[in-house]
Amino acid sequence: MKAVCWHGATDVRVETVPDPTILNPRDAILKVTLTTICGSDLHIYDGYIPSMLPGDIIGHEFMGEVVEVGSEVKKLKKGDRVVVSSVIGCGQCAYCSRQKWSMCDNSNPKAGLQEKVFGFGSAAIFGYSHLFGGYAGSFAEYIRIPFADHGAIKVPDGIPDEKILPLSDAFPTGYMGAEFCNIQPGDTVAVWGCGPVGLFAMRSAYMLGAERVIAIDRFPERLRLAQEFGRAEVINYEEVDAGEALKEMTGGRGPDSCLDAVGLEAHGMGLEGFYDKAKQAVRLETDRPPVLRQMMVACRKGGTLSIMGVYGGFVDKMPMGAAFNKGLTFRMGQMFGQKYIPQLIERVANGEIDPSLVFSHHLPLDETKRGFELFKHKKENCTKVALKP
Amino acid sequence: MESVTKKESIQQNDAERWASIIGGGAMVLSGLRQGSLRGALMALAGGTAIYHGVAQQNSIQDALNQTLKVEKTVTINRPVEELYRFWHNFENLPTFMKHLQSVKVIDAKRSHWVAKAPLDNQVEWDADIIKEEENHLIAWASVEGADIDNSGFVRFQPAPAGRGTEVKVVIEYNMPGGTVGAAIAKLFGEEPEQQVGDDLRRFKQLMEAGEIATTEGQPSGRE
Ligand SMILES: [Zn+2]
Ligand SMILES: [Zn+2]
């Protein structure tokens, strides 16, 4: 089959590789009908995710059609159209049974590697490095789905692929981020980053009862989407001081919750931004945390920080004094896809939201490299790229 | 006479230490480094003289130089009885213990173990169950003539508030000396703790999820 393999920073190639096969009784094989580049694939593309091996098939946000099932698969059958959670859960461990799927004890065959870095292993993620299990990803014609009865969720007929695809990863991530904001009546939620996850977080914040959503970014096209799709008021942090603007917009109180939909490659401003970039370049600091710093300072006293942008290693110069003295609550983590996907399918089916609006580009799998470049540099007003194998 | 008495008293201390370890949940790494697991298990089983090597292991310095001791605990979201039953049939162990090639049960006490060694070699030994407490503890030790002298125990106890079962494994290997010993040591990897940890993680996967997660045999651009 055809697949996109990673060979090093910014080096991705379309190659011919063997087809996947059933390796375990609870596996299914899917023909990928549509897949997409996620913001966190950019961290892989740029070489910031450790434990990638040359030749790894990447991609973790996808949907498709079941073409084969293992002997222990009970709910799925050949021909089913499904969307698949990017995070893999066994369904049987203490965490999966409490709906905390990204903390699964059993899906990551290389959890021992992670224990060394994180203390405990987490769930595996498709196409997302060997720390996260080393499973082959979705930028391919076919993909193997472990624990398929849990991860692959059937899609009702009549909803086009484009409307369902973001339910694999970006939409549930944004929704969980909004849920983590612990929204109360009258609350204002500030969202850093107007990429797909940020946009879904904005809509989800309203679904969960937010009164106002304020979006922070620097690209006019993305800010326009935040206004139109996300129904947010916007701040361009290159034009105004985001912290001061947020205070003024909220009667001097500050936002009740702040949501990070950016993660480890955030762009800092001025000297601070230069400091992080330099440290990250020589790997003294693995992640750049300007969004985290801004949120800790901008959030109201007693407020909540919800962190959905991905962090992988170490950050420094964190304003802990601000967080501590203001009594902030931090919530974070990889998303629980299997928990949220079914309820989000409902919202799409009843017309509450059209997730396909986040796509600006549709490309064949052969043009994955171009897709990465468009998405990374926001060229041609790129917001999200759908890839067709 | 005097030296014999001394030996006995050391053994007694070891036995007390291990009795408390096996019974309770003390942090045992420091204990492991000081004492002989086999000696303690023998004393517990009351069959001290049957197995070879017990007397020599009372020399703490010798034990330090030659033994490899590992302890590791995992919590598994299944009932004690189910885990005990599965483990008690030693023939099941190679399904999740990667370095084992096979285990054959000979009778209620004795089993024959074959482990993979580097360069397509294998090492073999017979082991006896020296202590078992239903749904709680299984202790074993290799018998005379083993390629690798080893002993260990696995203990099962309920975790609090429905969290399943805490499974603790303690294993001790006495390496033969010299280059052969070095080759055999390789068998247990550079980090035996990690290897036992990985084995236990696979045991947990098998018991909770019914299969062992793997990516071996999947496609990549490396072929
Ligand atoms: Zn993602
Ligand atoms: Zn699980």
pLDDT tens figures, B212-223: 999 999 999 996
Among A56, A90, A115, select the one facing B208 at the smallest CB separation.
Answer: A90
Q: What is the pTM of this model?
A: 0.89
pLDDT at B122: 83
Copy the structure tokens of residue B30: 């420091």
**How does residue A340 score in pLDDT terms, banded at 50, 70 and 90?**
very high
State mean pLDDT over A257-279: 81
Q: Are A335 and A173 contacting, i.e. CB atoms less than 8 angstroms apart?
A: yes
Contacts of B218 in chain A (CB under 8 A): 20, 23, 135-136, 144
**How does residue A274 score in pLDDT terms, banded at 50, 70 and 90?**
confident
How many CB atoms are located within 10 Å of the residue B3 CB?
A: 7
Distance (Å, rounded) from C-alpha A53 to C-alpha A134? 9
Among A19, A106, A135, select the one facing B209 at the smallest CB separation.
Answer: A106
pLDDT at B12: 43
pLDDT at A278: 76
In sequence order, the 6+-apart residues with CB closer than 8 A to the CB of B109 are B128, B129
C-alpha A121 – ligand 2 centre gap (Å): 11
Min Cα–Cα distance to chain A from B223, Å: 8
pLDDT at A315: 86
Q: Which pLDDT tens digit goes with each residue over B126-161?
A: 999 999 999 999 999 999 888 888 889 999 999 999
Q: What are the C-alpha distances in Å from A113 to residues A8, A117, B11, B99?
A: 20, 7, 39, 19
Q: Does B53 have pLDDT greater than 50? A: no
Q: Which pLDDT tens digit goes with each residue over A125-176?
A: 999 999 999 999 999 999 999 999 999 999 999 999 999 999 999 999 999 9
Percent of chain B with pLDDT over 90: 46
CB-based neighbours (< 5 A) of ligand 1, an ion: A 38, 40, 169
**How does residue B45 score in pLDDT terms, banded at 50, 70 and 90?**
low
Percent of chain A with pLDDT over 70: 100
Contacts of A56 in chain B (CB under 8 A): 220-221
Lowest mean pLDDT among A76-80, B34-38, B79-83, B203-207: B34-38
Side-chain half-sphere CA neighbours of A63 within 13 A: 23
**How does residue B52 score in pLDDT terms, banded at 50, 70 and 90?**
very low
B215 to A1: CB separation less than 8 angstroms, yes or no: no
Higher-confidence residue of B120 and A181: namely A181
C-alpha B27 – ligand 2 centre gap (Å): 28
Q: Are A194 and A219 contacting, i.e. CB atoms less than 8 angstroms apart?
A: yes
pLDDT at A287: 78
Contacts of B161 in chain A (CB under 8 A): none
**How does residue A293 score in pLDDT terms, banded at 50, 70 and 90?**
very high
Interface test with A, best of B74, B163, B220 (most A CBs within 10 A): B220
Min Cα–Cα distance to chain B from A24, Å: 7
Name the closest ligand to CA A39: 1
pLDDT at A235: 97
Min Cα–Cα distance to chain A from B57, Å: 33
Tokens 């041609």 appear where?
Answer: A380
Name the closest ligand to CA A335: 1
SS3 of residue A343 by DSSP: helix
Q: Is A260 left (phi over 0), alpha (psi -120 to 50) or beta?
A: beta
Q: Does B17 have pLDDT greater than 80? A: no
Q: What are the C-alpha distances in Å from B187 to residues A354, B36, B100, B119, B183?
A: 56, 22, 10, 10, 7
Q: Which pLDDT tens digit goes with each residue over A9-64?
A: 999 999 999 999 999 999 999 999 999 999 999 989 998 888 999 999 999 999 99
Lowest mean pLDDT among A155-159, A385-389, B43-47, B93-97: B43-47
pLDDT at B40: 67
Q: Which pLDDT tens digit goes with each residue over A310-325?
A: 888 888 889 999 999 9
Interface test with A, best of B96, B199, B214 (most A CBs within 10 A): B214
Q: Which pLDDT tens digit goes with each residue over A62-108?
A: 999 999 999 999 999 999 999 999 999 999 999 999 999 999 999 99
Side-chain half-sphere CA neighbours of A305 within 13 A: 23
Where is A34: in which H helix or E strand? strand A28-36
**How does residue B22 score in pLDDT terms, banded at 50, 70 and 90?**
low
Quote the mean pLDDT of chain A. 95
Continuous H helices in chain B: 2-23, 29-34, 37-45, 60-66, 80-88, 178-187, 192-209
Q: How far is CA B20 from the centre of its chain?
A: 17
Q: Are B122 and B101 contacting, i.e. CB atoms less than 8 angstroms apart?
A: yes
Higher-confidence residue of A317 and B179: namely A317
The residue among A148, A291, A316 whose CA lies nearest residue B209 is A148
pLDDT at A316: 86
pLDDT at A288: 81
C-alpha A36 – ligand 1 centre gap (Å): 9
pLDDT at B129: 95
